[in-house]
Amino acid sequence: MPRGVPEKQAHPRWALRNTKGFKEKRKMKKRCSGILMPVSSLPGGYGIGSMGQAARDFVDFLALAGQSVWQILPVGPTSYGDSPYQSCSAFAGNPYFIDLDQLAADGLLKPEDYAKENWGTNPNYCDYALLYQKRYKVLRKAYAAFLQQRPVPGYDTPYSDDWYRFTFLSDAWLPDYCLYMAIKEENKMCDWQTWPAPLRLRDPKALEEFRTGHADELGFWAFVQYEFAKQWQALKAYANSKGIKIMGDIPIYVAADSADAWAGRELFEMDSEGHPRRVAGCPPDYFAEDGQLWGNPLYDWAYHKRTNYAWWVRRVRHALSIYDILRIDHFRGFDTYWAIPAGDENARGGKWEQGPGMDLFRALRTALGDLPIVAEDLGEIFDSVRVLLAESGFPGMKVLQFSLNGTDSVDLPHNYPAHCVAYPGTHDNNTLRGWLENETTPAQRKQAKAYFALTEQEGEITGLLRGVLASPAELAIVTMADWLEKGSEARMNTPGDPVGNWQWRVAAKDLTPALARKIHEMSARYFRAEPLPEAEPKKEKAPAPQPKAKAADAKEEKTTAPAKKAAKSAK
């Protein structure tokens, strides 16, 4: 069994010794910074952030703030629990993110189809139950209008060349996803493992009969993905035109109730009935005495190796077609992972197993070339994980909130390696204000005040952000909630708590030019952005010209001159 290492041995410099692999000589990259803002958290109407004008306005805000990266959370469809890390597809996009105003602009909706709907009473939080009730009803109206369009003159079909191109490029996953969603709808959205056996086990005759009888439903789910892809690519192109790269995110595992698990049982440790033999989780530790039981099906890595990791190549190729940079969650699972027998009530009965290691990443590099990947290497990390990270050449992550333990922690900013991404906190952490107020001890607050030289004049939050931006890390990412100095009400996720997560949304009025200027100035101070242009000095006003003599005065001077001359002669 792999063993943990003391923190002194775990210093990032340690991992650079005696490593072999395809790590290239890395040129020093330009320092830059970005903001973590989930699409769901964008402002706007209709219950949740979308890929419409508010997203473009946020891109403009990023550019004005001198930022280079917009980091988001996974954009796949969410299910029970609303977590973007438990999606029903590793390839599909979230229908909630489709912008309704854009559908109206495309002639697929009328404003009255959606503007008068009740999308919730609090614009600062997502009501996912209400979204499920309302959003699909509106999208089905758009689909009905889509079927009436005739984009190609002379052809009685709603399908354009763009449609055929999308379905062709998505053929490896789209048909199975649409079939999965249609069967799920037919079975009252129940988990696929409870479906009738012929459909659950993908009997060819049963699937063909279902396709024949539900062609319109299959078309609806394909339409939703087409509209998502069209709007997403337009948003990405806009961001790139403003000099903003999008950092996306994929979880290492897929959800148990997903199109991937249903249609690709050979990819996972499953029995002949489609039930998982073992599932994913974490071992018992200080924070959870029974460990964490996630329930995701584990990969059959022997099968993936035999196929030269073809499914992973497709998955990463797809992700890099929609993102500029890719963060992979739970990177340590590629080295060693905790395997728990299916049916166990907790994670105590699990054991460590060996992951694919560099073999996977060599296959990805061979198929896809350079990999702009960020490895989420947080949590309990073994020596072997650090070696894998160093061999891969991927930057890892550092989080300020993990640093205040009274020692020269590797998570203190002065210890960050250049080749990493620095955060004050991630989506799984409290906001900085919430952390300071609710989760730190007096000793930690004292250390923070001394280490970061915090003052009332500058403000505690600004001082902590200064520490992250000043660090050696090539890329620094700050959550939008931390730039706004929000409290715990803006926390995105509390691990282990199944309710109240993924809901926070920003108010448009908070994204001010003054805040953008502050972010730009702090980023530029630590050479993460170009300096703001200096204001031109005010020019001094030239002295006013003397007024010319009036015509009457000139005439008087002319008439009195002879008299003055005569008086002078008499003297």
Structure tokens at 240: 């790139």
Strand partners, 354: 336
Q: How far is CA 536 from the centre of its chain?
A: 38
Q: Are the CB atoms for 62 and 70 separated by under 8 Å? A: yes
- Rounded to an integer, what distance in angstroms lies between the CA atom of residue 490 and that of residue 204? 48
Residue pair 387/341 in contact by the 8 Å Cβ criterion: no
Q: Give CA–CA dist 527/469, Å, rounded.
A: 9
Is residue 60 flagged as an active site residue? no
Respond yes or no: is residue 57 known to be catalytic: no
Task: Check 329, 344, 380, 437 and give the catalytic one.
Answer: 329
Candidates 548, 543, 400, 556; CA nearest to 466 is: 400
Helix (H, G, I), strand (E, B) or coil at 251: coil
The residue type at 143: Y
Q: What is the rounded distance in angstroms from the CA atom of residue 506 to the CA atom of residue 36?
A: 12
What CA–CA distance (Å, rounded) separates 488 from 146? 43
Give me the phi and psi of 307, to 5 degrees please: -95, 15
Task: Select which of 428, 437, 485, 521 is catalytic.
Answer: 428
3-state SS class at 355: coil
- What's the rounded Cα separation, in Å, for the pair 553 and 559? 10
**CA 177 vs CA 223, 224, 304: distances in Å:** 12, 11, 21
Q: Are 242 and 60 contacting, i.e. CB atoms less than 8 angstroms apart?
A: yes
Catalytic member of 335, 376, 391, 474: 376
Report d(CA 271, CA 288) in Å as an integer.
30
On whether the CB atoms of residues 30 and 483 are closer than 8 A, the answer is no
Active site residue 329: yes
Question: Between β-strands 278-282 and 292-297, what pairing exists: parallel, antiparallel or unpaired?
Answer: antiparallel
Judge whether 334 and 357 are in contact, CB under 8 Å: yes
Six token digits for residue 35: 């903001």
Residue type, 527: F
Angle, to 10 degrees, between the axis of helix 161-169 and the axis of helix 215-241? 90
The C-alpha angle 73, 76, 77, rounded to 5 degrees, equals 125
Please name which of 73, 47, 42 lies closest in space to residue 60, comparing C-alpha atoms. 42
Which residues belong to the active site? 329, 376, 428
